[in-house]
Each structure stands twice: as C-alpha cells, then as structure tokens.
C-alpha cells in the first residue's frame, strides 16, 4: 500500500507510530497499576466511636 509506505518511510511517520505505541503502553501500565492497587487491603480507618470521643467538647 503506497499510503503505508509513505507514512512509515519518513521520520514523522515513525515518530507518530512510536507516540501511539507509547500512549497505548502507558494506558496498559496504568490499568494494571490501578487494578493492583485496588486489590491491596486498605489501612484501617478511624472508628465512629473514636471520632465521637475525639470531637467531644471538653
């Protein structure tokens, strides 16, 4: 196909292809990073009783 030859035969074609590959790679990396972080257990939060005693007037 002459269009593909024209596009990937030039430096701007290779640059655009590498840019698209970089964006797809970063999206994949972020997807798996967020997925892994969501599976990780969350640190224990303050309980309602602790919050009430903390905000109680003295």
Residues 23-47 have pLDDT tens digits of 999 999 999 999 998 887 766 676 7
User: CA 26 to CA 10: how far, in whole Å?
Assistant: 25
User: CA 58 to CA 55: how far, in whole Å?
Assistant: 9
Q: So where are the chain's domains?
A: 2-55
| pTM for the model | 0.56
Model confidence band, residue 56 (pLDDT cutoffs 50, 70, 90): low
Write down the pLDDT at residue 5: 74
Inter-residue contact 26 to 32 (CB < 8 Å): no
């Amino acid at each position: 196909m002459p269009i593909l030859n024209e596009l990937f035969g030039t430096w701007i074609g290779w640059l655009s292809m590498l840019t698209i590959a970089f964006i797809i790679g970063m999206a994949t990396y972020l997807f798996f990073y967020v997925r892994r972080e969501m599976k990780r257990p969350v640190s224990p939060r303050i309980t309602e009783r602790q919050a009430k005693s903390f905000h109680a007037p003295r």
